[in-house]
A and B are shown apart, each in its own frame.
Chain A
Amino acid sequence: MSICTSNLAMSRHITSFSLARKLFFAGCLSVLLAPAAFAQRNNDGSIYSRYGLGELRAFPSAQLQAMGGGGTSVLSYTYVNLTNPATWADQILTRFSAGVLYQGVQATDASNDVSRLTEGTLNAFQFSFPIGSKVGVALGYEPYSRVSYRVQRDGALPPDPVLGDTSHFILNLEGSGGLQRFVGGVGYRINRNISVGADANIIFGILEDARRTDFTGGTFRESYLSTSTRLAGVTGTLGGIVTLPQLASENDVFTVGAAFTLPATLSGSRVRTLSPNDRTPGDTLETKVPDGSVKLPWGVRAGAAYSYDQRWLLVVDGQYQPWSNFSSDFSFAGYDPGGVSTFRDRIRASAGLEFLPAGTDLVRPFLARVAYRLGAYYDRSYVSPIAGVDLHTVALTAGLGIPLFNPGTRLDLGFEIGTRGQTDQNLVRDTFYRISASVNFGERWFQRRRLR
């Protein structure tokens, strides 16, 4: 448990109940900004997000995101770890964090044609608090999948037989939306070596694919055909962690953890809407497809972490989800309810390293109190545009955990650069970079001041 010592020391400096108002203010600000951020047009990502339920996303924590994105076994008093509810047992401070993500994607095809797209989105919220010394509760909101693509083709119509005019058009195929995950659960420390936890996941969202045809000049009306699929359902995750302190030295901690996510059935509805365009109201035709359901497979993840001398943290993690068992009453790109499916079992592996020069020493120079992180991951996508062809993602991650003026509060910056796909077999290779930033607040709540 020495990994928690620095946080305990920090927490002693934080006793002001009045800070709660500041935290709430920042939290409310973020919540208010969230709808605006999600409301912007965000169909500027990878073409691969067209397939299946979109590109799977997760934000385990600002710390873990910079360490390859895995951390099933990582305990922290500073960050809420959404990969494993067992990690929530060890908490001292009430914590709130929120972050944004900015990403750019450069897609290249076999002809070396290139498109560049960028977007910014609100990333996640996390909130947690302890109940006593053995129980911790956490709530979180993070993306589950994201559909964000746009391709276009332009052309010209032949001269009209009546008017004789010629018009150019641009056909846009675009996707937007995605599924979100709202997590709530509890972690419990059974003894000094074992923690367990469970959470409930509400997965919900709207996946939208649209065809928009714009014309230049003439008396044409733009057309906008969208297919919206609304899904919602509940699943749960069970997790456990075994902590082995002083494994090789007096100042180290070794942890192993695993989490199992139950399969989920999302109930859904699908509506096709045809309207003049996506910006102005007009004569809108709606066609409702019969309601149905989507069955998500179970998933398992496991990992190990080794902390040495309060300054070094090494993490390895693996994840498996048999998406080949995916079934749906609705068709998706890559999945036909009565026919071909290009869904594959998803495999993800990651590793990461964190270095905090100051360790638990709070009076060291600023740069020594910054956490430096590095990681990498590999991901075999759960769906591929071509049956039998795997879609691989490889990325490097890095980040900084910058202490702010109040102990217990950090600004975390994350960086990620990677590549996905390939240019042969009519595929494209995405080269992407992501920059994320999160603010992480922590303080004692629900405790009386002591008179001294």
Chain B
Amino acid sequence: MRWNRSGLFFCLCLFALSLSACENPSNVGEDLVGGIDDLPEASTVTASTFESDSIRVVTGNSDRILAGHVDDPMLGDMTTTGYLDFSTASDIPGEFRTGPVTSVQLRLVPDYTYGSTTGTTAFHLNEMPSEFTSNGARADTTLPAGATVTDFSISPTDTLVVIDLPAAWVSANDATLRGTSFGTDFHGFQIQPAGGQTVFGFDLARTVLRVVSNGETVNYPVSQRLWTASRSGTLALPPNELLVQDGFGNGVSFDFTFRQDSSLVGGAVNRAIIALYADTLSLQQNAPANFTRPVLQGVILAALIDTSAVALGQFSLRDGKFVMTSGDIINIVQRRLSGVETADRFRVTPIVNNTINPLLLYTPSAPDKAPKAVVTVSPTGE
């Protein structure tokens, strides 16, 4: 048995020896290796196409609804209309059910303003004649509205808007408002602008329909919610700029002809940066007095493949430009350089945030601020 233990010991020692390896590679011998001079390099490619595109924005079931009207000298006449429905409250005192309902208030909390910061904006509060479904509903949805319940107005400085519904309407809907089937019998309101120069956003987490019945007060929370947007008139954009705007789904699609740059073809992509430059100054300077025009701060970059879009990431506006880089962008550029086309083009659209915030992007015709891709590749020696 002695030799066996010794042999095993030797085996283990020799194996440990075989695993040990150290290295100090250097430039010695590099002249013998073809391709050692093919070092990584970066090339800048300007967008070959850059054109307006659009997506259909889903505004149903959002956290905020917009309502209002603004005639923007740069972006046209924009109107947004809000729709709200309410569900029964979770905890209703027994006395509430016996009635009668003596008071109903629609309480709105503005949390967003676009347009005039001084004047008031008038609204019609209309009844909805039937149930509407907000799930998946888009900003271009058309819904018929019923009779006007009341009119009201909002000032940009308001932090809480309380709309007292008329006694006649309350009396007419007494049984519905305190009944157990309120959620299905009541179909909600349309908030329709009637002139004005401001679009407001309302925080739906704090919006309620307050009903007082038999001395008991109950707040009905928002159930279905939707807002729609429409534009008339023409855009008056600065030359060499395209509009990206939340709410309306305005975006830009663009592309690069990477393979026309011979230094890139066949290379291994180490980094791909897409840079889009924004004109934030024009949006600020070309606004009327006492006019707020918040600038869109975030966009979604997508690759358009056939008829579908694959999101490549969300990017924020910094120092007047979007600098977009990710592993997915590298993958797409790599495949295109390798002749494996997976994307027809790129597209940026607003991050949907229930606003109508705009952004102006420079086109390839803009000197110094043309959209570009900076691609760093390692030559493959092929």
Contacts and interface: CB of A to CB of B under 8 A. Distances in A.
Interface of A: 22, 25-26, 29-30, 33, 36-37, 40-42, 44, 47-48, 50, 98-102, 107-109, 113-122, 149-153, 155, 157-158, 160-163, 169, 171-173, 211, 213, 215, 218-225, 274, 276, 282-283, 285, 287, 333, 385, 404-406, 409, 411, 426-428, 437, 439, 441
B381 to A, nearest CB: 6
A221 B20 contact: no
A120 B21 contact: yes
B331 interface: yes
Contacts of A426: 31-32
Contact of A161 (B17, B44, B334): B44
A221 B10 contact: no
Nearest to B381: A211
A150 B24 CA distance: 9
B194 interface: no
B334 A285 contact: yes
B372 A162 contact: yes
B273 A162 contact: yes
Given A50-B32, A50-B33, A115-B29, A406 B380 contact: no
A100 B268 contact: no
Given A40-B19, A120-B20, A157-B42, A151 B28 contact: yes
Contacts of B372: 161-162
A151 B11 contact: no
B23 A117 contact: yes
B360 to A, nearest CB: 19
A98 B270 CA distance: 44
Given A285-B335, A405-B6, A151 B33 contact: yes
A220 B40 CA distance: 11
A170 to B, nearest CB: 10
B33 A173 contact: yes
Nearest to B39: A155
B268 to A, nearest CB: 3
B106 interface: no
Contacts of A152: 25-27, 30
B325 interface: yes
B3 A211 contact: no
B236 interface: no
Contact of B270 (A30, A113, A220): A220
Interface in B1-60: 2-4, 6-8, 10-11, 14-15, 17-36, 39-42, 44
A99 B334 contact: no
B92 interface: no
Contact of B268 (A99, A172, A225, A439): A225
B21 A42 contact: yes
Size range of the interface on B? 35 or more
B338 interface: yes
B18 A223 contact: no
Nearest to A121: B18
A385 B26 CA distance: 19
B21 A221 contact: no
Contacts of B330: 221, 283
Given A100-B14, A162-B323, A117 B25 contact: yes
A44 B21 contact: yes
Given A120-B20, A150-B23, A157 B376 contact: yes
Contacts of B25: 44, 115, 117, 150-152, 172
Nearest to B331: A283
Given A151-B25, A274-B268, A37 B15 contact: yes
B301 to A, nearest CB: 15
B172 interface: no
Contacts of B212: none
Contacts of B269: 221, 223
Given A42-B21, A411-B10, A427 B32 contact: yes
A406 B8 CA distance: 14
Please indicate which of the listed interface residues B19, B33, B323 has the most CB atoms of chain A within 10 Å of its own CB.
B33
Given A44-B23, A109-B31, A439-B11, 12 more contacts: A36-B15, A40-B21, A50-B33, A102-B20, A151-B27, A151-B32, A153-B30, A153-B36, A162-B372, A163-B273, A173-B33, A211-B378
Contacts of A157: 40-42, 376
A153 B39 contact: yes
B187 interface: no
A437 B378 contact: no
A153 to B, nearest CB: 6
Nearest to A403: B3
Interface in B341-382: 372, 374, 376, 378, 380-381
B338 A274 contact: yes
Contacts of A220: 270-271, 376
B10 A22 contact: no
Contacts of B42: 157-158, 160-161
A426 B340 CA distance: 39
Interface in B319-344: 321, 323, 325, 327, 330-331, 334-335, 338, 340
Nearest to A285: B338
A276 B285 CA distance: 46
Contacts of A100: 14-15, 17-18
B273 A151 contact: no
Contact of A114 (B7, B28, B323, B335): B28
Contacts of A98: 11
B377 to A, nearest CB: 8
A282 B331 CA distance: 9
Contacts of B34: 333
B380 A274 contact: yes
A315 B321 CA distance: 78
Given A157-B376, A409-B3, A439-B11, A109 B28 contact: yes
B300 interface: no
Given A47-B29, A211-B381, A30 B19 contact: no
Given A102-B18, A120-B19, A152-B26, A169 B40 contact: yes
B378 A213 contact: yes
Interface string B273-304: 10100000000000000000000000000000
